[in-house]
Chain A
Amino acid sequence: MGKPTKCYLCETTLSKNEIGLNKKMQGKNATRFYCINCLANYLEVTVEDLHVKIEEFKLQGCTLFD
């Protein structure tokens, strides 16, 4: 079964960065992927926190992100 392409909660189509973020934050066994807003809510952090993490992952050379 492929990885979800829509948010588990709001069904928004997920961007590459959002899919990458779900993989980094929830691991390969995750089957519920969230858009950045719902993920921030689920993880009890801010959307800005997650944007910062995306930039950090990119700086580390992670190719999961645009």
Chain B
Amino acid sequence: MNLNRKRYLSFAVHRDGPPVTGKQLSTAIWKSLLSLYGEATVSDTRLYLNEFDENSGLGYLQCNLYRLKHVIAAAALIESIDETKVSFEPKKTSGTIKALHRMKSQFLLLL
């Protein structure tokens, strides 16, 4: 069994306040993970923020398949980033980033 399998997650960050940068969001998720699950879990997550649009709040992240649930739970429990109140909404998970891009383009066509 390959323990390093990746999963990509598309998400939306709803906010009440000034926009948050990708760096701020990434740090907030890491901190929440560390607080909730501890260092051992954090070391396995391989969390990386691939893309994040500050204005729309849409983005993709990648992490270890077996830690995806932990990452989502930790991100969902983030209440605020600096002075901005946020709500993290996981949207779709996929094994490849290409599939997520395809879903995003279909979503944009619907708008």
Decide whether A and B are members of one complex: no
Chain A residues in contact with chain B, CB under 8 A? none
